[in-house]
Structure 1
Amino acid sequence: MKKYIFLLLTVGLLALGCSKNNDDDNGPDPVGNADLDTQHFMWQSLNLWYYWQAEVPNLADDRFSSDQEYTEFLGSESDPAAFFENKLRFSGDRFTFYREDFKDLVRGLDGISRSNGLEFSLTYIDSNDNDLLDNDEIIYGIVRYIVNGSNAATVDISRGEIFTGVDGQELNGANYQDLLFGENATYTLNMADIDGGTLTPNGKEVTLTKEEGLLENPVYITTTLDVMGTKIGYLMYNGFTDVARDDAGNIIADYDEELNSAFGELVSQGATELVLDLRYNPGGSVRTAQLLSSMIYGTDNTNLVLWRQEYNPKLQAIFDPAQLEDTFLNQTPRAGTPLNTLNLNRVYVLTTRSSASASELVINGLAPYMDVVQIGSTTRGKIEFSLTLVDDPDREGAPYIYSPSRENQINPNNLWGMQAIVGVTANSVGFSAPNGLEPDIQLFENAQNMGILGDVNEPLLARAIQEITGMSGRRDFTVDIPVKEITNSKMFTTLKDNMYLDKPIKLDFIPE
């Protein structure tokens, strides 16, 4: 006789024989009281899935001795956000986040945002290479790229331009979040020039307006360069976004198919080398990372492991090891389109500190199988992956994991969604880089010469071309003012540097 592992791992109430039908007056029923539904969902889902469940005493299976004690615990914070932050979050967890409406969370993971389409870094002169910023520190923004079809694409602003103020206020560590990422729909940037480490306002102003529902195709540039007879493919890929859906859950853009088409172009143009530009790619879908890796290396290797997942100890002991492995693929997941692949044994990858999670997963996953030449700066170091959790405890084999087809099964009294860290990754030989992947060739972007993306003279691409062709010594790659970012515009979106697991998950039956 078998039973679901969920029944073995459910909350302490059930494990200890606590019944919601008991006749004792032990306070509100946590299941039947809508005021506690969110806290109840948070505890149950994290008790099962949270990577640090064993390190959080309040999430221990034997934490509560009675229904009354559990109910009082749920009611100890009336605000669910405070309940998670004060009672459940592991001290080392930097990445788990939540939304009061799971639909806002899901739309954000689909790359749909309220944005003006200007993507930029924030940095300052003489950066001291840390994440701490004094409130009075003067900072500046530098434009990375413009999202196609956005408001920013309709105004006079371009890559490499610098701004030092917003609406006449000089940017500093205390005000930049409110000025650039606050509720204001429209703001005006005060532009400046930079020369020899000196920022000088130039009088130019650019007014931008944030738009609801902006879609960004992560496939930004696809081209093949003919350099000294070598066909060098160049792909700038800015996010591991698999699809975008409308409010009804219908797919309105399949970016995995767009990515496959991009590789089809490279194949048809005869590319024999590839420069993969992930410098502004903060991550996203693990499944899409599998697809990209396969398009680079080959599709005849579906038995080879790219990476493995590690869950909390009680789940790790239950999963079949094969369920924890992701291999190379040979077709897209929804349409079943055969993958276009370059079948390479070497790839050049451009990175910055903004290259995170799924970007690092591709670099690390490919490293045991091919020569991965990393050019740029050290990546962020984000090896944790997440699941979207909602109040759907009855999903067979995958309780609490969001499914578009089960939105009508989610508790209508609790629409909260959590993007919870549930595990970490390592490649096929067990290597991971929690402090980031260091480049083989270090080259920071230059605030005085950002270059044109996709152009052979853009510094990072030019350095990769030099490495491919072997024509060294003809260009000076000295960086006058390195762009060492404090943060960037993508870190203020829902997706941020999140890496989410989107393959089917089902907890196996086990013997009783």
Structure 2
Amino acid sequence: MRRRNIQLFLLLGVLAMTSLFSCGVDRWPEYYKWTGRDLWIDSVMREEYLWFEDIPNTKDLNYFLEPDAFLKKIISPLDKGYSSVDTLYATPLPSYGFDYTLYSIVGNDTAFNALITYVIPGSPAAEVGLKRGEWIMKVNDDFITKKTEELLKEGESRKLLMGEYSAQENEAGETEGVITSYGEANLPASRPVEDVTIPAYDVLTGGVGYLAYNSFSAEDNSELLRLSQYYKENNVKEFVLDLRYNAGGAMDCVQLMATILAPADKLGSTLASLEYSQKQMSKDRELTFDNQLLQGGNNLNLSKVYILTSSTTAGAAEMLINCLKPYMTVVLVGATTKGENVATASFSSDKFQWILRPVVCEVFNSEGKADYSTGFTADYAVNSLQDFAKVLPLGNPNEEMLSAALGIIDGSIVLPEPEPEPEPETQMKAVKSVKVKRTFRNGLIVK
């Protein structure tokens, strides 16, 4: 019965499209209950979209598509998935709250060990004490296989056999890495989990400030201001900003972060210029390093900042990098960033219960540059998983990426750097990486 209903709906859709303008009669109102959402998307895009001139003619479009499918039909070739549409009722999915990468087990071509690469604070995984760098060897007394791997993602409580990495000498006198078990963990049942904006921060030996910042989220601006006071009170002179998991967020948060980090004599200077389409040129404006944003916080007056990056680093995070470069030395440690150099704005419909986020403007730094569509290349390339002994909790000075930044600061690492070292001889090969779906907004959002 369900299949027959779907087929009937599709047939009605085809008949409706062919008769919208039959005999010169406007039939749009009659079919609005099916086309209304797409018509709303169409109207917003033609008015607000940066590349509105690339939208196809109305007569060439099918307004009976699902919103995401319709959006894909009308966006510009320049839009590399930056624009999006989603239901207003999107909610976090149940999860245990940890990311992991599967590695093949030596001598067993069907089983894997799972390296924990991130643990969300407050999640079931965090509650039981799982940490970045630990290994899961079995789940419910079974090896991890393509079938049992699903048990690591969500569901009821699980029993995990935990392992740790160590480098040992084999019979041939060669050093190789091995995973050995050290105990069990009882993972609580999964539940909806939301990541936190600031999972780790510290002042390290030598007065080096460290901040892991996962999203440019206005909800946590007060915490960011509090931490700026904390770093100031501890006389921080060097700063490591960890943006490896930061996929973007709000532009006003970029402005705040930049104002906290920048040299004091640059406050009031131009941070960025926003350029909209020809239809929306009245919205063009400049952002500055605004001292008024520091109420309850402090400017750190830095001349240099070290930023940890990955292929996830995008949008608002890349805007910060681009806009700081004219005023201070920005040293990137990690991997090439994603390359999102435009901004989106949010338009919601209470009637249809959908939210549309089209690209609305380009964002240039004070030198008129926004040429990072292929991402920013790291000044010091680091594979965060290249040495399993250094896959450690965020903020640990021995963690691979942070230790590299600290090495550059203390002079033990000199730029430019050689190619990253290969993975240790574990004979294990990465098979698959799994990440918890984040609830943070990606890209770069302008109000």
In the alignment, which residue of structure 2 is the partner of 1:403? none
CA distance, structure 2, for counterparts of residue 421 and residue 143 of structure 1: 35
CA distance, structure 1, for counterparts of residue 317 and residue 110 of structure 2: 31
Letter in 2 for 1:370: M
CA distance, structure 2, for counterparts of residue 348 and residue 25 of structure 1: 64
CA distance, structure 2, for counterparts of residue 424 and residue 137 of structure 1: 48
2:63 to 74, 78, 86: 74
Bigger shift: residues 142-151 or 194-203: 194-203
Given that residues 96 and 152 in structure 2 are in contact (C-alpha distance below 8 angstroms), is that contact kept between their aligned partners in structure 1? no
Does residue 340 (structure 1) correspond to residue 320 (structure 2)? The answer is: no
Q: Deviations over 1:453-494 (max 9, x none)?
A: 323322322222222222459xx995535999976525x234
Does residue 151 (structure 1) correspond to residue 124 (structure 2)? The answer is: yes
CA distance, structure 2, for counterparts of residue 57 and residue 215 of structure 1: 38
Following superposition, the deviation at residue 139 of structure 1 comes to 7.8
Following superposition, the deviation at residue 498 of structure 1 comes to 2.9
Letter in 2 for 1:237: Y
In the alignment, which residue of structure 1 is the partner of 2:345? 387
Given that residues 191 and 206 in structure 1 are in contact (C-alpha distance below 8 angstroms), is that contact kept between their aligned partners in structure 2? no
Aligned residue pairs, count? 400
Given that residues 263 and 328 in structure 2 are in contact (C-alpha distance below 8 angstroms), is that contact kept between their aligned partners in structure 1? no
CA distance, structure 2, for counterparts of residue 426 and residue 500 of structure 1: 14
Give the match's secondary structure for 1:48: helix
Following superposition, the deviation at residue 270 of structure 1 comes to 1.1
Q: After superposition, where does 1:466-477 map in structure 2 within 5 Å?
A: 466-471=407-412
Letter in 1 for 2:127: T
2:253 to 275, 283, 288: 288
In the alignment, which residue of structure 2 is the partner of 1:328? 289
Q: After superposition, where does 1:12-411 map in structure 2 within 5 Å?
A: 25-29=25-29, 33-58=32-57, 63-64=58-59, 73-75=62-64, 77=65, 79-85=66-72, 87-90=73-76, 92-100=79-87, 102-104=88-90, 113-114=92-93, 116=95, 118-122=97-101, 141-163=114-136, 170=144, 184=155, 196=176, 207-212=187-192, 214-227=193-206, 231-243=207-219, 255-298=220-263, 301-311=266-276, 313-315=277-279, 318-319=281-282, 321=284, 323=285, 325-332=286-293, 337-391=295-349, 410-411=350-351
Q: Deviations over 1:422-456 (max 9, x none)?
A: 34433222133111111111122133421343233
CA RMSD in angstroms comes to 3.8
Give the match's secondary structure for 2:217: coil
Give the match's secondary structure for 1:219: coil
Following superposition, the deviation at residue 271 of structure 1 comes to 0.9
CA distance, structure 2, for counterparts of residue 472 and residue 279 of structure 1: 20
CA distance, structure 2, for counterparts of residue 187 and residue 496 of structure 1: 31
Given that residues 263 and 303 in structure 2 are in contact (C-alpha distance below 8 angstroms), is that contact kept between their aligned partners in structure 1? no
In the alignment, which residue of structure 2 is the partner of 1:493? 438
In the alignment, which residue of structure 2 is the partner of 1:428? 366
CA distance, structure 2, for counterparts of residue 485 and residue 166 of structure 1: 18
Following superposition, the deviation at residue 347 of structure 1 comes to 1.0
Give the match's secondary structure for 2:118: strand
Q: 1:348 to 1:80 in 2, by over 3 A?
A: closer
Q: Deviations over 1:254-295 (max 9, x none)?
A: x00100101110001111111112122222111111111110
CA distance, structure 2, for counterparts of residue 117 and residue 449 of structure 1: 24
Give unpaired runs (5+ residues) of structure 2: 1-23, 168-175
Given that residues 299 and 328 in structure 1 are in contact (C-alpha distance below 8 angstroms), is that contact kept between their aligned partners in structure 2? no
Q: TM-score, normalised by structure 1?
A: 0.67
In the alignment, which residue of structure 1 is the partner of 2:376? 437
Q: Deviations over 1:70-113 (max 9, x none)?
A: 8xx434x3x3343334x32445532433323x243xxx7xxxx3
1:456 to 397, 401, 412: 397
Q: 1:434 to 1:179 in 2, by over 3 A?
A: farther
Q: TM-score, normalised by structure 2?
A: 0.75
**Percentage identity across paired residues of the two chains:** 24
Q: 1:447 to 1:83 in 2, by over 3 A?
A: same
Given that residues 301 and 329 in structure 1 are in contact (C-alpha distance below 8 angstroms), is that contact kept between their aligned partners in structure 2? no
CA distance, structure 2, for counterparts of residue 384 and residue 486 of structure 1: 30
